Amino acid sequence: MVRAVAVPVTADIEGGFGRDAGEVAETVAEVLAAGAAGVNIEDGAREPGEFTERLAAAREAVERAGGDLFLNARIDTYLRGLGDPRTRLSETLERARRYVRAGADGIFVPGVTDAETIGALAAGVPVPLNVLAGPGTPPVAELGRLGVARVSLGSAVAEAAYAVARRAARDLLTGGGYGVLADGIAYPELNGLLAAAPGE
């Protein structure tokens, strides 16, 4: 992927693909060696203390290699509905501060869609804030005004594409029309998008 594109590549390494902090460090070192510019690493259902150890090990691996890798720490309190909703914001901000001290360069909080909470997170997180956008999320321009530095779509684009495929199949099986295909990318253009760059 790094060789195929001319823009920075970020790898989603979930919880670090390791049973402990040492194995997470190995994963991060391998991703760095592959040429990635950054990683997303998530706390999931782990206790913040354990995840902090994983982040610190990841940061040490980057420094040991003498590389430059953006560590984007994902906090799943909202996505997974963890803890008391009344204290979820303060818990998320506390985790963010801990993770930054451990070496995170950015904080990713998926599952938040309301402007008030997003603004509070942006104001309270001491590094760039990343949110997951989708139906119900403020437009990109408003997210920028709220202080969001990075907007991710996650699996939403793939889910939308599969929805088109399902509608097309249903129309075909029920004797319907082909209107769902009207906005498709033309075949020659699609081939051009997938073709290797000259010399590769």
What residues make up the domain containing 116? Answer: 10-154
Q: Which residues, in sequence order, are bridge partners of residue 73?
A: 41, 107
Same domain assignment for residues 19 and 67: yes
DSSP H helices in the chain: 21-33, 48-65, 88-102, 115-124, 140-146, 156-173, 187-194
Tell me the C-alpha distance between 155 and 133, whole Å.
Answer: 10
pLDDT tier for residue 174 given thresholds of 50, 70 and 90:
very high
Do the beta carbons of residue 2 and residue 35 sit within 8 Å?
yes
Quote the pLDDT of residue 4.
84
Number of domains into which the chain is organized = 2
Same domain assignment for residues 39 and 138: yes
Same domain assignment for residues 51 and 103: yes
Do the beta carbons of residue 36 and residue 50 sit within 8 Å?
no
What is the mean pLDDT of the segment spanning 150-163? 96
Same domain assignment for residues 55 and 36: yes
Domain boundary, last residue among 154, 172, 190: 154
pTM comes to 0.90
The tens digit of pLDDT for each residue in 96-118 reads 999 999 999 999 999 999 999 99
**Residue 2 belongs to some domain of the structure:** no
Same domain assignment for residues 138 and 166: no
Same domain assignment for residues 121 and 192: no
Same domain assignment for residues 163 and 130: no
Return the DSSP state at 145. H
Same domain assignment for residues 144 and 70: yes
Same domain assignment for residues 86 and 161: no
CATH number where 141 lies = 3.20.20.60
pLDDT tier for residue 198 given thresholds of 50, 70 and 90:
low
Same domain assignment for residues 14 and 106: yes
**Residue 129 belongs to some domain of the structure:** yes
Same domain assignment for residues 108 and 179: no
Helix or strand or coil: residue 174?
A: coil
Closest CA to 64 of 103, 101, 8: 103
What average pLDDT is seen over the chain? 95
Quote the pLDDT of residue 40.
98
Quote the pLDDT of residue 5.
87
Quote the pLDDT of residue 199.
54
The tens digit of pLDDT for each residue in 33-50 reads 999 999 999 999 999 999
Same domain assignment for residues 135 and 178: no
